[in-house]
Structure 1
């Protein structure tokens, strides 16, 4: 990839980062959602000991919906502010896609870290016995969530029911990633070995490895419409 392309990608990424830090609306809403959801779960299960499988499933429900709340704004904000046309004129489709993708990966990783920390803090009896598996799961999960939904956020940007449509379209595409993520999370809680986690790690890597180039190929047609 040429230096000029990298600079344009960084420019889009930097624009989104500065815009989010300036308004802080989306991040504040997502943090409130995460805190409220985890607190309600903790209150509901106050007298119950959550087993590793159930805990892994609940954590991934939180990760999924926090990502839906954050990533859905990637292209919707451009339509709302009327800046989509400026991006089409002044930069390449490649820069727009990869700049948005990088921002979404960073956002997902931040949300996943915060969600996991809050979840473990409130569920104090839950112990991560294999921290490396848990950390790798969060990294690959962030990559997968972003790569699986960046294109969808471009598709729904002009729809009338953006909020409802985004998770409906995203869930079937993200299902393989979620299943693998739950498996890895459960292993990290149970103290499983890396050999047990290998197949799920490979699935999550392959998932992003297939979806990123496929989404990039399709992005030109969607963005130019």
Structure 2
């Protein structure tokens, strides 16, 4: 009886720190996310870079191809979707690396290592990058709808494809931003490392988004959405496991 009580006491004392550790990690991640948002609102470097590229891409495409959105053939819808995601991709590649590069430039990496666990740092940076990508998705899609007269047949499915595509983009690039933070040619190296990982989800996102430009049921795009979510699970889990080695190196 005494041994069973001791065993239960040990198991209870073991599980409680786990719960407390999880809460502390989430609080630290939230604090890092708020810190990054505050710094970005003060400098506005990443936001300005993303928005400037989105506006430039949408304007250049509209001047080059005109009102492409008025064409409703299958090939035209694929072209519209491809141009939208290319604009989102290259704008993201120019801005998402700032989440860790900023820490390197301001000499705060060491303080961040002492203040929070690697898991908290990764989660905070991931949420910050995801916020930037979702803002980029919203602005770029609105610009394409207005300037190219892109007609969205299924707004709900279109929004779901943009959200899951942005989530896949963030899950694959957050750890790469940490890897290239100390490199000399950060932007070029970030694009070189990120692009091979993004080819598969980019193709699926283009095809799924092209379907949402037609008036289709939401069930039609469940396949691409499930693929993107599975991709997110794999890349997010792998990044979360590998990030401590990258962060402490």
- Bin for the TM-score computed over the shorter chain: over 0.9
| Distance of 2:34 and 2:77 partners within structure 1 | 39
| Distance of 2:117 and 2:67 partners within structure 1 | 55
**1:111 aligns to what?**
136
| Distance of 1:8 and 1:71 partners within structure 2 | 21
| Distance of 1:26 and 1:151 partners within structure 2 | 17
Q: Does 2:35 match 1:15?
A: yes
**2:87 aligns to what?**
62
Q: Does 2:58 match 1:38?
A: yes
Once the two structures are TM-superposed, the CA of residue 105 in structure 1 deviates from its matched residue by: 0.8
Q: TM-score, normalization: structure 1?
A: 0.96
Cα deviations by residue, 1:82-132 (Å, 9 ceiling, x for unpaired): 0011011111111100000011111100111101001111012x2100111
Once the two structures are TM-superposed, the CA of residue 34 in structure 1 deviates from its matched residue by: 1.0
Alignment equivalent of 2:213, drawn from 186, 189, 201 = 189
| Distance of 1:97 and 1:41 partners within structure 2 | 35
Cα deviations by residue, 1:28-63 (Å, 9 ceiling, x for unpaired): 122111111110110011276651010000001011
Alignment equivalent of 1:85, drawn from 81, 102, 110 = 110
Alignment equivalent of 2:201, drawn from 173, 177, 182 = 177
Greater Rg over alpha carbons, structure? 2
Out of 176-185 and 92-101, give the one that drifted further: 176-185
Out of 10-19 and 44-53, give the one that drifted further: 44-53
Q: TM-score, normalization: structure 2?
A: 0.87
Once the two structures are TM-superposed, the CA of residue 199 in structure 1 deviates from its matched residue by: 1.4
**2:16 aligns to what?**
none
Once the two structures are TM-superposed, the CA of residue 196 in structure 1 deviates from its matched residue by: 2.5
Q: Does 2:234 match 1:210?
A: yes
Q: Does 2:158 match 1:158?
A: no
- Unaligned 5+ segments in structure 2 are 1-18
| Distance of 1:88 and 1:28 partners within structure 2 | 28
**1:222 aligns to what?**
246
| Distance of 2:169 and 2:86 partners within structure 1 | 12
Once the two structures are TM-superposed, the CA of residue 79 in structure 1 deviates from its matched residue by: 0.6
- Aligned-residue CA RMSD in angstroms? 1.3
Structure 2 CA distance for partners of 1:47 and 1:3, relative to 1, 3 Å:
closer
**2:13 aligns to what?**
none
